[in-house]
Amino acid sequence: MFLLLHLSILAINIFVINCDEICDCQEIDVLKGIVQQVLLEQKLESAKLRKLEARQRTLSASPGTANTLFVDRLAKIETNIVNIDKKLNALVRETQEDKGKNMDIILKNTIAAEKLERMQFISSMESQMDDMKETFENFKAETTIRIGNSIENISTAEEIFEQGINKKLTEIKGQTEDLVSNVHINVSTFQDDIKLEISKNIRDITNHLNQRLSNTDRKITTLDDIVVKERINGGWTHWGDWSTCSVSCGSGITQRSRTCSSPSPSVLGRQCEGNTRQTGSCVLKRCPGHRVAFMAYGIAGEATGLVRFPTVIENTGNDYSSTTGKFTCSIPGIYHFVVTLSIRNDPPYDNFNCQMFENSQQVMELYVRKHDHDSINSYPATAAAVLHLSKGDTVYVDNCEEYDRIYNDRSTIFTGFLVSADD
Q: Counting every residue, how long is the chain?
A: 423
**Do 177 and 98 sit in the same domain of this protein?**
yes
Of 287, 320, 350, which residue sits at a domain end?
Answer: 287
**Do 101 and 238 sit in the same domain of this protein?**
no
**Do 273 and 319 sit in the same domain of this protein?**
no
Tell which wins on pLDDT, 400 or 217.
400
**Do 245 and 374 sit in the same domain of this protein?**
no
Residue 297 has what pLDDT?
A: 93
Q: What is the Cα–Cα distance from 237 to 257, expressed in whole angstroms?
A: 9
Looking at the predicted structure, is the pLDDT value of residue 142 above 90?
no
Domain assignment present for 218:
no
Domain assignment present for 18:
yes
The mean pLDDT value for 276-304 works out to 80
Domain assignment present for 214:
no
**Do 261 and 334 sit in the same domain of this protein?**
no
For 151, other C-beta atoms within 10 Å of its C-beta total: 10
The sign of the torsion formed by the CA atoms of 368, 372, 377, 381 equals negative
- Structural domain including 250 reads 232-287
Looking at the predicted structure, is the pLDDT value of residue 170 above 80?
yes
Q: Which residues, other chains included, contact 277 with Cβ-Cβ below 8 Å and sequence gap of 6+? A: 255, 256, 257
- For 315-331, the pLDDT digits (tens) are 998 999 999 899 999 99
Q: Which residues, other chains included, contact 98 with Cβ-Cβ below 8 Å and sequence gap of 6+? A: 27
Domain assignment present for 190:
no
Residue 269 has what pLDDT?
A: 81
Tell which wins on pLDDT, 419 or 87.
419
Domain assignment present for 379:
yes
Q: What is the mean pLDDT of the chain?
A: 76
**Do 17 and 152 sit in the same domain of this protein?**
yes
Q: What is the Cα–Cα distance from 49 to 58, expressed in whole angstroms?
A: 14
The total domain count for the chain is 3
In the sheet with 311-316, reading across from the earlier edge strand, the strands are: 311-316, 293-297, 413-421, 333-344, 378-389
**Do 22 and 152 sit in the same domain of this protein?**
yes
For 52, other C-beta atoms within 10 Å of its C-beta total: 16
Residue 332 has what pLDDT?
A: 92
**Do 180 and 305 sit in the same domain of this protein?**
no
The mean pLDDT value for 244-251 works out to 80
Amino acid at 219: K
For 272, other C-beta atoms within 10 Å of its C-beta total: 18
Of 125, 156, 185, which residue sits at a domain end?
Answer: 185
- Band of pLDDT at residue 26, cut at 50, 70 and 90: low
Looking at the predicted structure, is the pLDDT value of residue 6 above 60?
no
Cβ burial of 259 (10 Å; 0-12, 13-18, 19+) is: middle
- Checking DSSP bridges between strand 394-398 and strand 351-358, what pairing results, if any? antiparallel
The mean pLDDT value for 35-43 works out to 66
CATH code (residue 244): 2.20.100.10
Of 116, 151, 185, which residue sits at a domain end?
Answer: 185
Under DSSP, the state recorded for 371 is G
The sign of the torsion formed by the CA atoms of 312, 314, 320, 321 equals positive
What share of residues in the chain are helix, strand, coil (percent, to 5)?
A: 55, 20, 25
Domain assignment present for 225:
no
**Do 264 and 366 sit in the same domain of this protein?**
no
Q: Give, rounded to a whole angstrom, the gap between the first and last alpha carbons of the chain.
A: 149
CATH code (residue 382): 2.60.120.40
Domain assignment present for 208:
no
Tell which wins on pLDDT, 312 or 365.
312
Q: What is the Cα–Cα distance from 72 to 79, expressed in whole angstroms?
A: 11
The mean pLDDT value for 271-300 works out to 84
**Do 86 and 159 sit in the same domain of this protein?**
yes
Domain assignment present for 126:
yes
- Checking DSSP bridges between strand 333-344 and strand 378-389, what pairing results, if any? antiparallel
**Do 115 and 137 sit in the same domain of this protein?**
yes
Residue 20 has what pLDDT?
A: 43
- Band of pLDDT at residue 302, cut at 50, 70 and 90: low
**Do 271 and 297 sit in the same domain of this protein?**
no
